[in-house]
Structure 1
Amino acid sequence: MMSIDLNADLAEGIGDDAALLPLVSSANIACGFHAGSHQLMRRAVELAIDNHVAIGAHPSFDDRANFGRSTVEIAPADAFSLVAYQVGALAGVATAAGGRLAHVKPHGALYNQAARDRRLAEAIVDAVRGVDASLAIFGLAGGELIAAAQRAGMRSVDEVFADRGYCADGTLVPRNQPGALLDSEEEVLRRTLAMIERRGVQSIDGAWVPLQVGTICLHGDGAHAVAFARRLRAAFDAAGIAVRAPESVAVATP
């Protein structure tokens, strides 16, 4: 049976984490720098453990005012500390709750900049490896973060976005440009299945972009996120696609 990991960003103080967690296989938990709090981190970890969902840290720039989505010029040494601090904090929360951290996925601008910037990507990888070298790193498929993880001998998982527009070079269309976000559920469903079955996506200029597909991001902050997640799972079931965390990611169990 074909399988895919379905991940969602949680503990951001928006959306319905409790309803969404049974529908995904990996959870990226906000570490408080772009959203969330230590209480939300703990609750999301507990819910992930209860639902046998892989627990991931979702570190970001220190930018709550802009939800971590603004470009930040940062020295590699500062990026190292920024990421190590957040990943270490969530790892501690997970351990205290009886689980364990499985992966790290940067958030927002940190994620997108690391997909293009080799030095930033390497700083993030070094920070994750310093906290726990067994963790997997989620990054934009084909991006610099994935390459940096591979060079460092870290486990990596290529991520794709079914509801985001793609440029011909495989990068995401910036959110402030036309075509960045898809709002048709039917189109997103079609694209998601095509990504899994054909390993690629059509860019905004019509070109076919081949992609490695290890995990698909489901944005959990929309008003209809849970309803859409149910539709997505139904479509996977109909197509014979199992939803489970990547083989390289250990899932915490109670």
Structure 2
Amino acid sequence: MAPQIDLNSDLGESYGAWRMGDDATMLELVSSANVACGYHAGDALGILTTLGQAKERGVAVGAHVSYPDRVGFGRRNMDVTSAELTADVIYQIGALQGLAKAAGTRVTYVKPHGALYNTIAGDARQADAVIAGMLAVDPTLVMMGLAGAPILERAKAAGLPVVAEAFADRAYTPQGTLVSRREAGAVLHDPELVAQRMLRLATDGVIEAIDGSILQLDAQSICIHGDSPGAVAMAARVREVLLAGGVEIRSFA
């Protein structure tokens, strides 16, 4: 069988007259869309528009839940209580479910955003709070998380289906974590380099770490950030190289 992989991107993040990314074009390239739920970005009309475009293109929809942090775009750590975090997750999924229904599609997975994503990768308390929110809404929702992170095992143990993802435009440490954005070389900008790295990941299950060592990485989805400069060009090249290399692009959902 030909190898297959999902391509996902963070979308629905524009707010009023402020535009973030090119959702319509990205939706022609990816197979899954992580759609903002209003806590870190996105307004109701913009989110609804993105959901409608995802429906038209047959792209799967996930809830991109976040800390309540519009000013920091969800990238600031927050020491919230478990009860607050669970309620916030329920609220965001519910809001996106309503908009998705109106657009003729449905929410099939959850991918936490930014600081929340990074925190729950290793923080058991906050991880369990997010898991509890998902279970309360719909236990069939898939948890998307960082490949190799403990959050995936915790979610699986709680009964949630899971999918592991890798990041196309981010550098990795030899331990399998993402290099901090504060460090040089953390974000990759060369579409050809990124595309070849992702082809190797999809076909051989390995990726080169920042120190040149080879890292085994079991990932079923690849994230291409929709808010980075040149995101569309990078996504297009990744898709082109994967298809040329015999990899089928298909949503896990």
TM-score range, shorter chain: over 0.9
Aligned with 1:116 (options 109, 122, 147): 122
Gaps of 5+ in 1: 250-254
Corresponding residue for 1:192? 198
Aligned to 2:13: 12
Superposition pairs of residues 1-254 of structure 1, within 5 angstroms: 1-13=2-14, 14-246=20-252, 249=253
Is the Cα–Cα contact under 8 Å of residues 6 and 243 in structure 1 kept in the other structure? yes
User: Does the 8 Å CA contact 2:37/2:93 hold for their aligned counterparts?
Assistant: yes
Instruction: Output the CA distance in 1 between the equivalents of 2:206 and 2:133.
Output: 30
Q: Does the 8 Å contact 1:61/1:110 carry over to 2?
A: yes
**Alignment partners' CA distance in 1, 2:214 and 2:235:** 26
Secondary structure, aligned partner of 1:120: helix
| Partner secondary structure for residue 28 of structure 2 | helix
SS in 1 for 2:40: coil
Shift of 1:85: 0.9
Structure 2: runs of 5+ lacking an equivalent: 15-19
In the alignment, the residues of structure 2 paired with residue 175 and residue 116 of structure 1 have an alpha-carbon distance, to the nearest angstrom, of 18
CA distance in 1, matches of 2:211, 2:232: 31
Preserved CA contact (<8 Å) 1:104 1:137: yes
Give the whole-Å Cα distance in 2 for the aligned partners of 1:144 and 1:85: 25
Question: Aligned residues, how many?
Answer: 247
Over the matched positions of the two proteins, sequence identity in percent amounts to: 45
> For 1:183, what is the secondary structure of its paired residue?
coil
Aligned-pair Cα RMSD in Å:
1.2
What do the CA deviations read for 1:76-133 (whole angstroms, capped 9, x no partner)? Answer: 2221111111111101111122211111100000001111111111111110111111
1:211-251 residue CA offsets vs partner (Å, 9 max, x unmatched): 111100011113322222221221112101111101xx2xx
Deviation beyond 6 Å, 4+ runs, structure 1: none
What TM-score do the two structures reach when normalised by structure 1? 0.94
Instruction: Please give the TM-score of this superposition, normalised by the length of structure 2.
Output: 0.94
